[in-house]
Copies of this chain bind each other. A is one copy, B any other.
Amino acid sequence: MTYSNKDKFYLAVDCVIFGFDNDKLKLLLYKRDFEPQKGMWSLMGGFLRINETLDDAAYRVLARITGLRNVFLEQLSVFSNLDRDPADRVISIGYYALINILDYDDRQLKQYGAQWFAIDELPVLIFDHAEIVGKSLRRLKRKAKTQPIGFELLPENFTITQLRNLYEAIYQRRIEPANFRRKIMSMGLLNRLPIKDMNNSRKGAFLYSFNKEKYEILTAKGFSFDLSGI
């Protein structure tokens, strides 16, 4: 072949899977089921196969553990330190996924010994996975300000308070409820449903859904989602 004098490498994907559980940002981790470091906590991972792209591989890994398809999944970056895997040279492409925490297949999860961990109570992870998690978190914080990706972590319908709780979890600080509400409503991207969530107050809080179609139309016209000033 043309490049036959060049070196070849093992390629893996590792997925950071975010979920949001009412007031805490969480990660889905699993107990590694092969050597080396079998039994330690790890990101979901898998090796790239010759007939698939990296995105394909990442979706395959995600579906294997959670049973989910059609979720938000994005490439993060490449990790290529010479000794990141002690067993052999493996270059890993980090991915991060945002999923609705109520939505996964619980049997599959149990089968793989997978478990949700609060983002500030993570166990020790294998290899350089802590670094991959750190980078994912920074990416999430950056992206959530300028793209409507937060909704991926919530159920289809949600209250403004839930949405604010999510942003408070991501940015780890209090956000003024009145100002947050006005800011998000002023974009005109939320559909109010004729339903109230009565769980948290006597008055009840209206449920909303994100209007993705409208977002795409507005974006095509030059609109930018922007929560940078909250």
On whether the beta carbons of A7 and B47 are closer than 8 Å, the reply is yes
Q: Closest B residue to A7 by CB, please name it.
A: B50
Task: Count the copies.
Answer: 2
**Does A100 interact with chain B (Cβ within 8 Å)?**
no
Q: Does A178 contact B (CB under 8 A)?
A: no
A1-B87, A3-B88 known; A78 vs B50 contact (CB < 8 Å): no
Task: Give residues of chain A (36-91) contacting chain B, Cβ–Cβ below 8 Å.
Answer: 36, 47-55, 75, 77-78, 80-82, 87-91
Q: Does A10 contact B (CB under 8 A)?
A: yes
Residues of A within 8 A of B (CB): 1-3, 6-11, 35-36, 47-55, 75, 77-78, 80-82, 87-91, 93, 228
Contacts of A10 in B (CB 8 A): 3, 6-9
CA of A48 to CA of B80 in the docked complex: distance in angstroms? Answer: 10
Contact B87 A48 (CB under 8 A): no
Contact of A77 with B77 in the complex, beta carbons under 8 Å: yes
Which chain B residues lie closer than 8 Å to A80 at the CB level? 48, 53-55
Known: A8-B10, A11-B11, A54-B91. 17 other contacts (CB 8 A): A2-B36, A2-B87, A3-B87, A3-B90, A7-B11, A8-B8, A9-B10, A9-B48, A9-B50, A48-B91, A51-B82, A52-B82, A53-B80, A53-B81, A53-B82, A54-B80, A77-B77
The 9 closest A-B CB pairs, nearest first, are A8-B8, A2-B87, A54-B80, A6-B47, A53-B80, A7-B50, A1-B88, A9-B11, A3-B88
7 interchain pairs, CB-CB under 8 A: A3-B87, A3-B88, A7-B48, A7-B50, A9-B50, A54-B91, A75-B78
Q: Which of B47, B53, B82 makes the CB contact (< 8 A) with A3?
A: B47
Which of chain B's residues have a CB closer than 8 A to the CB of A228? 228
Q: Which residue of B lies closest to A34 (CB)?
A: B2
Shortest distance from the beta carbon of A205 to any chain B beta carbon, whole Å: 33
